[in-house]
Amino acid sequence: MDLIHSDKMNRVIIIKCPDYDKLYLTKNIERALPYFGGIESLVNKGEKILLKPNLLVKDTARSGITTHPFVVKSVADIVKTAGGLPSVGDSPAFGSVHQVAAACGLLPLLKKDNIPVVSFRANRLFNDKIRITDTVRDFDKIINIPKFKAHSQMLFSGAVKNLFGLVSGKVKAWRHFKAHASHEKFSLMLLAIYEQVRPCFTIVDAIDIMEKKGPRGGPVSDVFNINPDRVPLLKTARKYGISGCRLRDIQIEGDDVSEVRSKKYLFPEELNDISFSFPRVIKSVIRHLVTIHGGR
């Protein structure tokens, strides 16, 4: 699997945000943008922009499972000020994107300003490397809006893992099955998706963070700390020489790291098997169909 290698310095901006107050969110996101040349350098007038939050399952925003709706709406508003045309899309694990967006409170915010919610079409092969939804061809750029949270299989879910949602439908469960218990193989697939779509910008919702057990069902914390040696994605990226997986490759600016770092954040003590059994894949498909058609 060919992955792009780069000698460029990667830039990460840390902005401390106390809560999900919409005024705080917009001001803090706007604080980050000048480091990248402003929103005008990222979004051109008339461009169709896909906003890709984490909309995993039907639950409230307070659960910490999904990207907070106020974060998504703030990004959409900023894109509109630059003349871009934002849409929001994801492929939930269970249920439709409209159902999940409604449950977390995002759908009414988007409807109010006529911002479309996109259901992803079937997957197609891109560059003879990776299959993701054909819907990405409808957009000029993607803005990635992940939810930072613990993950029982990958230690944590963030920018790269969030783009797994570009794999449409229950093919995601099949990808787990095909990983054959290999965290490295699964990580390479995730990295290939990221390199294929190359988001123009990533904004991580890390205000309230699910810890210890994830990507759903864990308690919520407001701070985190991480040991990179335990992260399958980072280990795999280092093995294959992919840029941005070591601190020396990253230019960190904005607020001081010490202001947001804590040793209290709890990651999973041990990682679960990355693969799904065939019966689990079938069960997942059935649950997904039941949820879409009105089940719980």
Instruction: Give the pLDDT of residue 248.
Output: 81
Q: Which CATH number fits domain 10-292: 3.40.50, 3.30.2420, 1.10.3470, 3.40.190?
A: 3.40.50
User: Can you tell me whether residue 14 is helix, strand or coil?
Assistant: strand
DSSP 229-259: GG-HHHHHHHHTT-TTSSGGGEEEEES-GGG
Banded model confidence at residue 49, pLDDT cuts 50, 70, 90: very high
Cis ω on the peptide bond leading into residue 219 (within 30° of 0)?
no
* Closest of 120, 50, 36, 40 to residue 85, by C-alpha: 50
Report the pLDDT averaged over residues 264-283: 61
pLDDT at 254 over 50: yes
Which residues are registered as beta bridge partners of 209?
221
Instruction: Give the pLDDT of residue 285.
Output: 58
Q: % helix / strand / coil in the chain, to the nearest 5?
A: 40, 20, 40
Max distance between CA atoms of the chain, in angstroms, equals: 50
Tell me which of 179 and 12 has the higher pLDDT: 12
Say if residues 249 and 6 touch (Cβ distance below 8 Å): no
Tell me which of 150 and 159 has the higher pLDDT: 159
Q: List the chain domain ranges.
A: 10-292
Tens of pLDDT along 67-98?
Answer: 999 999 999 999 999 999 999 999 998 889 99
Q: What is the DSSP letter of 79?
A: H
CA–CA gap between residue 102 and residue 59 (Å, rounded): 9
Instruction: Give the pLDDT of residue 275.
Output: 62
DSSP β-ladder status, 10-14 and 250-254 = parallel
Banded model confidence at residue 136, pLDDT cuts 50, 70, 90: very high
Banded model confidence at residue 101, pLDDT cuts 50, 70, 90: very high
Token pair for residue 107?
């759908």
